[in-house]
Amino acid sequence: MSTDSHPKLPVGGFPLPTLDHLGVKPDQLPTDPTKAREIATNWFSSFTSLASSGSEDSFNPSSSIDTITQSLFYHECYWRDILALTWDFRTFTGPTQIKQFLTDRLSLSKLKSFQLQHPEHISLTQPFPDMAWIQFMFSFTIGDVGIGSGVGRLIPTTKSQTQGGHTGSENGNATAVNGGGGGGGGVEWKCHCMFTHLEDLQGFPEKIGPLRDHLPNHGLWVAKREKEAAFEDKDPVVLIIGGSQSGLTVAARLKMLDVPTLIVDKLPRIGDNWRNRYNALCLHDPCYYGHLPYLPFPPNWPEYTPSVKLAGWLEAYAEFMELNFWTSSTVTKAHFDPSTKTWQVHVRFDDDTSMKMLGAKGQKERILNVKHVVFATGFGAGEPNIPKFVDQDKFKGQILHSAHHKRGSDHAGKKVVVIGSSTSAHDIASDYHYNDVDVTMVQRGPTYIMTTKNGWKVMSGLFCEGGPPTDMADRIQASFPFFFGMNGMLQRSAKKIAELDQELLDNLAKVGFKLTQGPDNAGFAPIAGSRNSPGGYYLDVGTSQLIVDRKIKLKSDSEIDRFTESGVLFKDGTELKADVVVLATGFGDFRSTIWRICDEESGRKCRKIWGLDDDGELKGCYRDLGVPGLWYMTGGLQQCRFYSKHIALQIKAMEQGVFGERYQLKVEDPTK
């Protein structure tokens, strides 16, 4: 299989903690679940005693922090924090970084009230035969501001593998936890990965469950909802631009926190962004992975959701969650006023229906003054990336971007060339085939292919029928730092999937389809995280076999030279005749909509969105954009479900005056 080079990602971290790397034999692992729970409980007791002591104002935390990093943590370790101690998304790699982070933030954060959660789920886990850890979950409080949750993973170590020989008691404190297994003994359990996470704000819980509205409502509900949605006598605190899953989930989270929020979307109907895409569009993530907060899909929902069905669900979701939504309304400009720290936003009503619904009384524009603006305008801001080819204007046929393709039957009897080989290209080519259209795919770079059948078989331990509760699965997934995945875990999964898909991959290669295992052979995750792969990825639901069977033609052996009047000419001298060319070439810079709508200074200050920073964290999304009150939300349904809460918590904390200072310290990568 081809492993064509990809742009290098910022990868730090350490080798996988295999038993061989740790110097541990399989018979030294605990076989009794009770023993695993005892090991986790003892380690957690030592950790919480030290962490609580290090949080006391009158206590010098350095001794506790030294013991934590030198004796309770393995010397190749990670700590990922989402908002709990840093008010940011940060990953710290190795004891040196973790020690500096704790020195700066532990006392300030005042952690206390630690408690193990779900002890029944504590057990020895072996993701691969040569790896083992004990995973546990816990809760804690953050001063009088927040309620946190956490996930820890302990690995077995031997004295020879302990950093600097730190093995016994130090300064009178309990340290690494001893624990044997099937008779081996001689093992000390230390933390390999710690995850801390802001779950809620103290005093401002979500209004769900016991905190729901208990008052009966006799005939007032409709008028009340109309008044809320119109914002006739007040402005919202938060304006969300874009009303698909990103905008809806942030709005739902903010509503549960009592933050007045309005969604504005230029389309006439909620869900139209999915409804108006090509008919063959279907989610490639299974339903138990991708659903929205507070309202999971019903048990008869199909595993892979058709786009039109999802559109209807989004429309229903907005109604059920009582979200304030203006359709057929376009944000034309937004200007940040530093003196008032507010955004002045101009909203144009695009039809009479929206004006009537909002009680606009003939007004064609409304100016809102809001504290926060959330851009939820899609992957790449929904702005098509349209490359320019030589002599493109001479082509006498039709050129359209994949965003504007509706159905294959629109081009019945014509020859179609699809430029691109990622997900949209495959879906559209398949759509043309099933509508008896002569279609050829032009592959410009190697593509990662994984069948959903085998891919989810390998990766679906958390999100599957009968799996753990969704909120637990979301936390566990978030607890794995990117660098940990890129240093072996993702490669192992990708290799296993490729073995299961071997016959299909071999057959694709035989017809000339260029394959890749992704950056560092790590599969599709880093491709999705970087957007730097010219060939992208496709989670196969059947189109790959159409390519193998040559029912979808393929051109992959030469670059495009230019367009002709009747088709596309390649540098090898061959020409593809075409009546229609579909550019499945992705979308543009996430900031394009921000640049178009916001004032020049705000647009200039806006940080890059997507891609990975030096911590291995996603840039721009869900976090500080460099402009006060400006946010960007995007992602699939699972990302929206989980990370929408983080935007909402940050906004609520700011509005209540309890938001802390983001931790900005840069720390050197100890592995470089």
Most confident of 607-616, 617-626, 642-651: 642-651
Domain check: are 426 and 363 in the same one?
no
- Quick check: 70 pLDDT over 80? yes
Is 668 within the bounds of a domain?
no
For residues 12 and 411, which has the higher predicted lDDT (pLDDT)?
411
Domain check: are 460 and 511 in the same one?
yes
* pLDDT bracket for residue 324 (50, 70, 90): very high
To the nearest whole number, what is the mean pLDDT of the chain? 90
What CATH number is attached to the domain comprising 69?
3.10.450.50
- Quick check: 27 pLDDT over 70? yes
Say if CB 283 and CB 307 are below 8 A apart: yes
| Average pLDDT of the segment spanning 61-86 | 93
Structure-token match 């019903």, residue found: 298
pLDDT tens per residue across span 176-229: 666 554 444 689 999 999 999 999 999 999 999 999 989 888 888 999 999 999
Q: What is the pLDDT of residue 277?
A: 85
Rounded Cα–Cα distance for residues 323 and 319 (Å): 7
* pLDDT bracket for residue 380 (50, 70, 90): low
**Which residues, in sequence order, are bridge partners of residue 515?**
447
Say if CB 422 and CB 539 are below 8 A apart: no
Rounded Cα–Cα distance for residues 305 and 300 (Å): 11
| Average pLDDT of the segment spanning 74-93 | 97
Domain check: are 333 and 359 in the same one?
yes
Is 264 within the bounds of a domain?
yes
Q: What is the pLDDT of residue 53?
A: 80
Domain check: are 377 and 389 in the same one?
no
Q: What is the pLDDT of residue 7?
A: 45
pLDDT tens per residue across span 128-186: 999 999 999 999 999 999 999 999 999 999 976 554 444 443 333 445 666 554 444 68
Structural domain harbouring 637: 227-381+588-656
pLDDT tens per residue across span 294-317: 999 999 999 999 999 999 999 999
Domain check: are 39 and 60 in the same one?
yes
Structure tokens at 410: 């629109």
Domain check: are 510 and 620 in the same one?
no
Structure tokens at 446: 């190697």
Say if CB 543 and CB 418 are below 8 A apart: no
Domain check: are 44 and 117 in the same one?
yes
Instruction: Report in angstroms the alpha-carbon separations of 405 from 242, 277, 417, 428, 623.
Output: 21, 7, 13, 8, 33
- Quick check: 435 pLDDT over 70? yes
- Say which residues have a Cβ less than 8 Å from residue 450's Cβ, sequence separation at least 6: 494, 497, 498, 501, 523, 524, 537, 538, 539, 540
What CATH number is attached to the domain comprising 289?
3.50.50.60
Lowest mean pLDDT among 22-36, 107-121, 359-373, 471-485: 359-373
Say if CB 402 and CB 428 are below 8 A apart: yes
- Quick check: 255 pLDDT over 50? yes
Rounded Cα–Cα distance for residues 536 and 253 (Å): 32
Rounded Cα–Cα distance for residues 167 and 579 (Å): 72
| Average pLDDT of the segment spanning 33-53 | 94
Domain check: are 425 and 355 in the same one?
no
Rg of the chain over all Cα atoms, to the nearest angstrom: 27
Domain check: are 390 and 486 in the same one?
yes
Domain check: are 374 and 390 in the same one?
no
Domain check: are 234 and 365 in the same one?
yes
Nearest-CA neighbor of 281 among 431, 488, 433? 431
Q: Any idea what the Cα angle at residue 351 is, between residues 345 and 355, rounded to 5°?
A: 65
What domain count does the chain have?
Answer: 3
Is 664 within the bounds of a domain?
no
pLDDT tens per residue across span 517-573: 998 999 988 888 776 667 899 999 999 999 999 999 999 999 999 999 999 999 999
| Average pLDDT of the segment spanning 615-635 | 95
* pLDDT bracket for residue 279 (50, 70, 90): confident
Last residue of a domain, one of 558, 583, 608: 583
Rounded Cα–Cα distance for residues 348 and 370 (Å): 16
Q: What is the pLDDT of residue 125?
A: 94
Domain check: are 294 and 395 in the same one?
no
Rounded Cα–Cα distance for residues 171 and 164 (Å): 16
